[in-house]
Amino acid sequence: MLRKVVHFVFIYSVGLFWTSLVFLRYVWLLIRKPRKVLLVKDRQNPPECLNDSSLGVHGYIRLQNVKIHYVGNGDEGKPLMLLLHGFPEFWYSWRHQLREFSNSYRVVAIDTRGYGQSDKPSKVSDYTVTKLVEDIHEIIPALGYQSCVLVGHDWGGIIAWMTTIKYPDLCDRLIIMNCPHPFVFGRYMQTHWKQFIKSWYMFFFNMPYFPEMMMRSGDFKMFDNMFCGKTMGCQPGRITQQDLEAFKYEFRESGSLTPPINYIRASIRTPPKETTANLELTSRSSKGHIDKPVLLLWGTKDGALETEMAKLSAKFCSHFTLTFIDGASHWVQQDEPAKVNEYMWQFLKAE
């Protein structure tokens, strides 16, 4: 009980600190450019890129508690490649992979719960890692498969890691992009000041209402900064204006940012040991070990994650391949799609 109280006090104290800084900046910008800060364009029609038929066919899967939207490409008789996006994205982040691998795989990119056209449960507790993992546990057989090549980026990487740990038979091969093993991240952030600072947004997002307002302000200026800015953004020209419009269109509705932020709220409010207990892992999997082949692709210019965590992830894997992509950002599959696809093919064709 005492540990939970200390945990609660700590995360909210740090959250209040960061929120006060963001709030002061917000007020300053509001005084200087009120119209620009408060602007949010009315987006009634999707950009053309979201109607591109070459990316695949849209569909829905009804799970026990939620309905999941997906885009599938490739014949259904081919092996399944399941793609899990990160924060704050949706299925479109995998546009380059949906085309690339559809000749050899049934490629399915989902909107994870709370995103895009998937159902959006209202409670923070609806977005625990346990429930996200159970979604994948249901999705794979619902698509008519017993296992798949599981691919995850960022938060999708966390889900993919943990799904493979708990349900190893569901995963033939695991491909992760810019997301360390979950057991590495928690320990590293607690012991490395630089990563703790980079993770400031997690504490900020734990606060109610204001994070959503900030992300919408200035016509989703935060999306411009994340995908195209100097600290976090992709290389020039990799994210087009139409791509940006696709992300802004997907989050256009008031309240649509709350479920994605609830991923982080649920994560930071739950102590790591409690998360492990809730997953009901076996004695071996409770140590986070993975026996399946694992490829970890890592853009070296990740503004949110320290590169050292990629190397530390190796100790949890029996068959581990780590490939750094120099100059690529956190959004590696969108920043360097040709290189990502090439390394994926090499891994998939290896014995």
In a 3-state reduction of DSSP, which class is residue 3?
helix
Mean of pLDDT values over 118-129: 97
| Dihedral sign from CA coordinates of 268, 272, 275, 279 | positive
DSSP codes, 193-219: HHHHHHTHHHHHHTSSSHHHHHHHHHH
C-beta of residue 303 within 8 angstroms of C-beta of residue 198: yes
Backbone angles phi, psi at 42, to 5 degrees: -85, 110
Q: Using alpha carbons, select from 187, 130, 194 the residue that is nearest to residue 158.
A: 130
In a 3-state reduction of DSSP, which class is residue 114?
coil
Q: Residue 27: what pLDDT?
A: 94
- pLDDT (tens digit per residue) in 71-108: 999 999 999 999 999 999 999 999 999 999 999 999 99
**Residue 278 predicted with pLDDT over 90:** no
- pLDDT (tens digit per residue) in 233-269: 999 999 999 999 999 999 999 999 999 999 999 999 9
Q: In Å, how far from its chain's centre is CA 14?
A: 23
Q: Per DSSP, which regions of 8-66 are E strands? A: 57-62
What's the mean per-residue pLDDT of the chain? 94
**Residue 283 predicted with pLDDT over 60:** no
Read off the pTM. Answer: 0.96
Place of tokens 């210019």: 301
pLDDT-derived band at 2 (thresholds 50, 70, 90) equals: confident
Mean of pLDDT values over 296-307: 97
Pick from 72-76, 172-176, 279-283: least confident: 279-283
Pick from 148-157, 280-289, 304-313: least confident: 280-289
**Residue 286 predicted with pLDDT over 70:** no
**Residue 272 predicted with pLDDT over 70:** no
Place of tokens 């200035």: 218
> Residues with Cβ < 8 Å from 5, sequence gap 6 or more?
none
pLDDT-derived band at 5 (thresholds 50, 70, 90) equals: confident
Please give the share of the chain, as a percent, with pLDDT higher than 90. 91
What's the rounded Cα separation, in Å, for the pair 98 and 109?
7
Q: Per DSSP, which regions of 49-105 are E strands? A: 57-62, 67-73, 80-84
Q: Which amino acid is at 10?
A: F
Q: Residue 344: what pLDDT?
A: 98
In a 3-state reduction of DSSP, which class is residue 103?
coil
Mean of pLDDT values over 137-160: 98
Backbone angles phi, psi at 16, to 5 degrees: -65, -35
Q: Which amino acid is at 249?
A: Y
Mean of pLDDT values over 52-58: 97
Q: Residue 282: what pLDDT?
A: 56
Query: How many beta carbons lie within 10 A of that of residue 114, not counting itself?
Result: 22
**C-alpha atoms less than 13 angstroms from C-alpha of 337 in its C-beta half-sphere:** 13
Q: Residue 4: what pLDDT?
A: 81
